[in-house]
């Protein structure tokens, strides 16, 4: 993932966390009936509609309470991680 994205080695930890996140949501031959580790833990299929290419360009929303009149409401970033407790991405 690092080589494909062109990001520096300082993003290795994020790449590893993303790999683990994706691994939990992919079918595994060691689990019966082609289910995923996520399904085994949560008894439901994982939602994959939010998946993005690791290292791609993204836009990060600035929280409304931090908006400055006439200022930016978002800034450009690089997608590097999924969060379990958020709808958006890091």
pLDDT at 53 (0 to 100): 94
Each residue of 17-64: pLDDT tens digit?
999 999 999 998 888 788 999 999 999 999 999 899 999 999 888 888
Length of the chain: 90
Q: Give a yes or no: residue 87 inside a domain.
A: no
Q: Give a yes or no: residue 60 inside a domain.
A: yes
Most confident of 3-12, 30-39, 56-65, 78-87: 3-12
pLDDT at 31 (0 to 100): 86
Number of structural domains in the chain: 1
Instruction: List the Cα angle 2/55/18 in 5-degree steps.
Output: 75
* Token output for 37: 């580790």
Which has the higher per-residue pLDDT, 72 or 5?
A: 5
Q: Give a yes or no: residue 85 inside a domain.
A: no
Q: Residue 87 above 80 pLDDT?
A: no
Q: Give a yes or no: residue 34 inside a domain.
A: yes
Q: Domain limits at 19?
A: 2-78
Q: Give a yes or no: residue 88 inside a domain.
A: no
Chain centroid to CA 20: how far? Answer: 10
* Token output for 38: 């996520």
Q: Give a yes or no: residue 90 inside a domain.
A: no
Q: Give a yes or no: residue 86 inside a domain.
A: no
């Amino acid at each position: 993932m690092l080589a494909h994205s062109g990001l520096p080695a300082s993003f290795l930890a994020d790449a590893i966390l993303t790999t683990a996140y994706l691994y939990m949501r992919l079918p595994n031959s060691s689990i019966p009936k082609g289910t995923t580790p996520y399904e085994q833990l949560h008894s439901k299929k994982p939602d994959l509609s939010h998946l993005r290419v690791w290292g791609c360009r993204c836009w990060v929303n600035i929280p409304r309470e931090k908006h400055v009149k006439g200022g930016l409401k978002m800034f450009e970033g690089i997608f590097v991680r999924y969060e379990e407790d958020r709808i958006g991405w890091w």
